[in-house]
Amino acid sequence: MNAQTPKTSELNLPQAFLLLATNDTTGKPEVPVFALRTTVAGSILAELDLLGAVELQGKKVRATGATPETDLQHELDVIRGKSRPHSPKRWVSMLEGRAEVQRVYESMASLGIVEHVGEKHLGRFRAVRYPEKDHAPEAALLKKVEAALSGPPSELEVPDTTVPIDASVPGAPDVGAPGSKPVSKGPDARTIVLIALLQAAGLLGKLFPSADLTAASELSKDYWPTRAVEDELRLIRLAEQEAATL
């Protein structure tokens, strides 16, 4: 990994998900576009949840007083700016879209991980693809996910987001301080959530066909951002089925 390439731990969840959900060579999504956009929206909520910037209170998502450094400041400001809170599923439907996906892709292009490639048709740009430019970040992600899936199923549990996991967030515990809770040797919270996102999008089994996904399926249903993704995708598929019968 060269000096220009970020460490895997520096990729946020939308970036990590899109990197694994995009074909390395063609730069096109490996899942239907609607599933890609919906899961990216869920990954935004999950990232902000892990940073302690938002939380689920009852059935509504609310912004907290935390002010973490994040590439998702625009999305956080949108959530903070709403006069009343919304459900996770409502936020997924509001955040899903081409613009959000494009913003995440472009952030990875600026890091040198993927390459912005435009296709021309009759002199006009018809589509944009993002083939891989540096495989090291994706290889590291795949290794971490594979290690987590090969461990005990009990390790794939909903992460505790009552305190931020990022030490840059005010109020986050110093894991190296005397008397602090020992760091677990199991998968980190971001890897666990990434597994839940991949499962919700229907991509985990394609990436790891021999893995037992029972625990991942339960995790995807238990963690509120990925449960919202599954609910939204279910409604989209039902709408498509109904439209096909008309």
Is residue 174 scored above 90 in pLDDT? Answer: no
Q: What is the mean pLDDT of residues 61-82?
A: 94
Phi and psi angles of residue 243, each rounded to the nearest 5 degrees, phi first: -65, -35
Q: What is the mean pLDDT of residues 95-104?
A: 94
What Cα–Cα distance (Å) separates residue 36 from each residue in 43, 86, 164, 214, 241?
10, 22, 26, 22, 19
Handedness of CA 232, 81, 172, 56 (dihedral sign): negative
CATH code, 100: 1.10.3630.10
Distance CA 212, CA 149 (A): 8
Phi and psi angles of residue 16, each rounded to the nearest 5 degrees, phi first: -60, -45
pLDDT of residue 177: 38
Q: Is residue 174 part of a domain?
A: no
Residue 119 token pair = 């296709």
Q: Is residue 179 part of a domain?
A: no
Q: Is residue 207 part of a domain?
A: yes
Chain segment 121-140, per-residue pLDDT in tens: 666 656 789 999 999 999 99
Q: Which of 48, 44, 73, 42 is nearest to 62 (CA)?
A: 48
Q: Is residue 22 part of a domain?
A: yes
Compare 8 and 216 and report the one with higher pLDDT. 216
Q: Is residue 161 part of a domain?
A: no
Q: Is residue 231 part of a domain?
A: yes
Number of independent structural domains in the chain: 1
Range of the domain at 87: 8-152+186-240
Q: Is residue 24 part of a domain?
A: yes
Distance CA 118, CA 125 (A): 6
Q: In this structure, are strands 117-121 and 60-63 parallel, antiparallel, or unpaired?
A: unpaired
Full-model pTM:
0.86
Distance of CA 87 to the CA centre of its chain: 18
Is residue 60 scored above 90 in pLDDT? Answer: yes
Is residue 1 scored above 50 in pLDDT? Answer: no
Is residue 4 scored above 60 in pLDDT? Answer: no
Q: Is residue 236 part of a domain?
A: yes
Distance CA 16, CA 105 (A): 10
Handedness of CA 98, 96, 29, 52 (dihedral sign): positive
pLDDT of residue 181: 42
Q: What is the mean pLDDT of residues 203-227?
A: 96
Q: How confident is the model at residue 183 (pLDDT cuts 50, 70, 90)?
A: very low
Q: What is the mean pLDDT of residues 211-229?
A: 96
Residue 132 token pair = 């891989």
**Helical segments of the chain, H only:** 13-20, 33-50, 73-81, 88-95, 98-110, 136-150, 189-200, 204-207, 214-222, 224-245
Is residue 3 scored above 70 in pLDDT? Answer: no
Q: How confident is the model at residue 164 (pLDDT cuts 50, 70, 90)?
A: low
